[in-house]
Amino acid sequence: MKLNHILIGGIMLLCAAAGIFAIFKVHGPSGGDNDDASAGKNVPTIISVQVGTLTNITLHGYINGYGTVVAAPATANQPAAGATLAAPTAGIVAKINVVAGQQVHKGDVLMVLNSSTATFNYAKAELERQKKLFAQQNTSLKNVEDAAAQLASLQVVAPLSGTVTSVNVRPGQAVDTTTTVAEVINLDRLALSLKIPSAQAGELQMGQEAKIASQPPVTAELSYVSSIVDPTDGTVPAWALLPSDSGLRPGEFVQFKLVTETRTNCLAAPAESVVTDDSGESSIWIVNGDQATVTNVEVGLREDDRVEILGSGIKAGDTVVTVGAYGLPDKTQIKIVNSADETTTNSPQ
C-alpha cells in the first residue's frame, strides 16, 4: 500500500515539473513572450543634453595681461607728467613747504636746504643785495647770476604743475644729489604701462583699444610700442594713455584686454559646444529632431562664452549640443532638457 502511494506521489511530482518547464518555455521567466524580451534588448539609449544656438555676431581678438598705472611719459608734444625730485646739492633739509597730496604749480618751492657753504637765508639775502648793487651799478651781472645760482642750488622746485605724491625726507635730514626728496605727478595725465610677449607684438598697432578691468571699467588707447624686446623677460614695452577721468592712481596693478582684431558677422557657437580632441580637431553636434549628428569644424576667435566656427553644412539658427557634447557618439538619440535660448543671452555684441 505504501509502495503504491510512493509511486503515485512520484508521478505527480514529475507531472508538476513538466508543467512548470512548459510555462517557462512558452512565456519566459517574466511571464512575457520571447519576442517581447528580444525587443527589450534593442531599445535605443536616450541621453539627456542641453543645447544652444549658432548665431552671427561680432567677435574680437584680444591680448590679455596686466599693467601698471604710471605718469604719462614725455612725447613730442608734451613733457612727462611726473617727476622724481632729487636734492640739487649736498646739505641739510632746512624747511619743507608741502605735504603729500598737496596741489602745486610749476616753479613752486617745495623745500629748501642749508649747505656747507651757505644757508638758504644767507643765499636769499645775498641775491637781494647783489640785485640792489647792480641797480646802482656797483656790481657786475656775473655776481648777480652767481648769487642766483647759489640760491637755486638750495631750493627744490616743482618742475610741473600737479600733485605731490610723496615727500621722502624730513627737516634736519642730511641729503645729497642721489637722495630722492619728493615726487610730483599730474594725475590728469596717466598711462597704463604694458609688457607684451614678443610673440604677440606683431599684432600691436597705435590706437588700439585697451579695456581695463577696473571699477568702473576704463578704456584707453595704445599710444606707444617699443621696437626693442626686453631681454630680461622677452616682452615688448608699450603704454596706453588713460582718460583724465579714469579714476585710476599711479602704482595700481590692473588687468587689461587689448583689442587687436574685430570681425563682424561671425558664425559663433557656445564655447562648451565645441569639443577638441587630442589631435587638435574640433567638432560640434548638430541637433536634428531627436538625434545629434557630429560635424567637424575649424575654430577661430574666442570671446567670453562664444567661439567662431567654420565648416560646411552649418548656419546661424542651428541647434547644437552644449552640456553633454563631450564623448557623445554620432547620431545618438537625445532628450533636450533646456531651451536653446538660455545659452545665448550673454553672447558678445
SS3 73: coil
Q: How remote is the C-alpha of 128 from its chain's centroid? A: 59
- 324 in a structural domain: yes
Same domain, 257 and 199: yes
Same domain, 269 and 247: no
Same domain, 252 and 290: no
Q: Which of 236, 243, 237, 238 is nearest to 190 (CA)?
A: 243
Spatial contact of 236 and 226, defined as CB atoms under 8 Å apart:
yes
Which pLDDT tens digit goes with each residue over 157-185? 999 999 999 999 999 999 999 999 999 99
Same domain, 179 and 194: no
Range of the domain at 176: 82-185
CATH at residue 198:
2.40.30.170
- 89 in a structural domain: yes
Same domain, 8 and 92: no
- 77 in a structural domain: no
Same domain, 133 and 280: no
The predicted structure's pLDDT at residue 339: 73
Same domain, 231 and 276: no
Choosing from 208, 233, 262, the residue where a domain stops is 262
Q: Which of 208, 246, 266 is nearest to 62 (CA)?
A: 208
Buried b / exposed e across 194-203, counting CB within 10 Å, b at 16+? bbbeeeebee
pTM above 0.85, yes or no: no
Q: What one-letter code names the amino acid at 291? A: Q
The residue length of the chain stands at 349
Set of cell numbers at residue 187: 594725475
Please state the domain count of the chain: 4
What whole-number distance in Å separates Cα of residue 64 and Cα of residue 86?
37
What whole-number distance in Å separates Cα of residue 294 and Cα of residue 288?
11
Q: What is the DSSP letter of 347?
A: -
The predicted structure's pLDDT at residue 184: 97
Spatial contact of 98 and 139, defined as CB atoms under 8 Å apart:
no
Spatial contact of 291 and 49, defined as CB atoms under 8 Å apart:
no
Same domain, 211 and 66: yes
pLDDT tens string, the chain, 349 residues long: the values are: 454 555 555 556 555 555 545 544 545 554 445 555 555 556 668 899 999 999 999 999 999 999 999 999 998 888 999 999 999 999 999 999 999 999 999 999 999 999 999 999 999 999 999 999 999 999 999 999 999 999 999 999 999 999 999 999 999 999 999 999 999 999 999 999 999 999 999 999 999 999 999 989 999 999 999 999 999 999 999 999 999 999 999 999 999 999 999 999 999 999 999 999 989 999 999 999 999 999 999 999 999 899 999 998 899 999 999 999 998 999 989 999 987 666 544 445 4
Which pLDDT tens digit goes with each residue over 252-301? 999 999 999 999 999 999 999 999 998 999 999 999 999 999 999 999 99
Spatial contact of 80 and 71, defined as CB atoms under 8 Å apart:
yes
What whole-number distance in Å separates Cα of residue 209 and Cα of residue 242?
11
Same domain, 92 and 235: no
Choosing from 226, 247, 262, the residue where a domain stops is 262
The predicted structure's pLDDT at residue 45: 81
- 76 in a structural domain: no
Query: Where does 238-298 have alpha helices with state H?
Result: none
Spatial contact of 260 and 199, defined as CB atoms under 8 Å apart:
no
The predicted structure's pLDDT at residue 345: 45
Same domain, 52 and 65: no
- 286 in a structural domain: yes
CATH at residue 160:
2.40.50.100
Same domain, 109 and 133: yes
- 348 in a structural domain: no
- 349 in a structural domain: no
The count of C-alpha atoms lying within 13 angstroms of the C-alpha of 17, restricted to the half-sphere facing its C-beta, is 6
